[in-house]
Amino acid sequence: MAKMFADELGVELTLLIPDSFDDLLEQITSNQVHIAAAGLTITKNREEIFQFGPAYQEITEQLVYNIANKRPKNMKKLDGTLEVVANSSHEERLKYLTDVIPNLSWKANHKMESEELLQMVSDNIIEHTIADSNELSLNQRFLINLRVAFDVSEPQLLAWAMPKTDDKSLYREVQKFFKKIKENGELTRLIERNYGHVDDFDYVGTKIFMRHIETRLPAYQDFFEEAAEQHDVDWRLIAAMGYQESHWNPDAVSPTGVRGIMMLTLKTAKDMGIKNRLDPESSISGGTKYYKKTLGRIDKDITEPDNLWMAMAAYNVGFYHLEDARIITRKLKKNPNRWIDVKESLPLLAKRKWYKQTRYGYARGWEPVRYVENIRSYYDILKWVDDGRIELTPVPEEFLKIPNSL
């Protein structure tokens, strides 16, 4: 979003990452930066110091605890450590609550960010923290022990913050920019890109996936990396597809006859030059080649990452059914080049009113939507693991003996 704004102004974007939240606030106050775009909540105290642009997202502040511990019912009955980022809106909220809960206590951490405190709760080092709902949604898929006890606030608004100065030219440009991206749908698209696939958190499914990263992926990772390098795609994306297809089970067979890690049909395997669909290396190679071929068929006007998601949907439901869904999207006066709009049209392929108007007819259009959204979540987790941002819990020896059929 910041890059889009810089391009709108015709200037170069310089990104600075402060060492702490305290440093971020100091840089705005002292006019060292033009804009702070760090998920800042608009609060009365901050409005006295900073100038906020238009709100771009709504969140709630939530008390977070570890699933292994007893869920607290309210702030009056907290048992254990509560730690929040110093000078954050969360600390501001706690200071406000002390008027009604005089014995409320917490620790303000000047060194750690909210994400690090969430990790500490997940590891049971501290009992509680407060996080914004959007940040928790992203992190809960990786830190699967986290749970929401209750909302600490009413809905709050996030916005860019700027220094208060007599020169209002930047502030006016920010207002114009947000008005534009709200009206043309770009803001909705950006939010969908980051949060659209994280709404349905599946604790059991995610826990099994994390276990399979440890127990199954190592046997096939080299195959994913080699195939991805050959076809110039991200190996983690292909691995996420493979997991959605078969849970990395090389012997997987569906009732419709698709087989192997990438669940190739007999025709697809033949077209991709694959003789044995149950051979892991061959299956991964064939699936990657087929995905890249499908990606190459996607309309060139569709930019990344929308083209990636649409190629996945086509991999699942068929290219021509995807094109039918794009035609429906256009009829609904939405954008056929955006996944956020096309994913709403795909389920209509199962409704007679709509599939009768298409060239290729009926399709179980809800399946590619779920297919893509699951892969997006698996892909995010694999990136975090591969980048070292999260560490996996060591797997007990008995789990290493679980057969692939499970």
| DSSP per-residue codes, 374-403 | HHHHHHHHHHHHHTTSS-PPPPPGGGGG--
Please name every residue paired with 52 in a beta bridge, in sequence order, or none if there are none: 161
DSSP state of 302: S
Q: Are 192 and 57 in contact (CB under 8 A)?
A: no
Q: What are phi and psi of 64, to 5 degrees?
A: -115, 140
Virtual torsion, Cα 109, 115, 119, 122, nearest 10 deg: 110
Tell me the Ramachandran region of residue 22: left when phi exceeds 0, alpha when psi lies from -120 to 50, beta otherwise. alpha
Virtual torsion, Cα 60, 116, 382, 396, nearest 10 deg: -110
10 Å CB burial of residue 277 (0-12, 13-18, 19+) is buried
In angstroms, the CA 324 to CA 337 distance is 13
**Identified catalytic residue from 245, 344, 367, 391:** 245
Pairing of strands 61-66, 128-132: antiparallel
Q: Are 89 and 43 in contact (CB under 8 A)?
A: yes
Q: Decide if 245 is catalytic.
A: yes
Q: Are 262 and 283 in contact (CB under 8 A)?
A: yes
Cα distance from N-terminal residue to C-terminal residue, the chain:
43
Q: Which two tokens stand for residue 311?
A: 């190629």
Long-range contacts of 350-357 (CB under 8 A, 24+ apart): 354/328, 355/324, 357/328, 357/331
Active site residues: 245
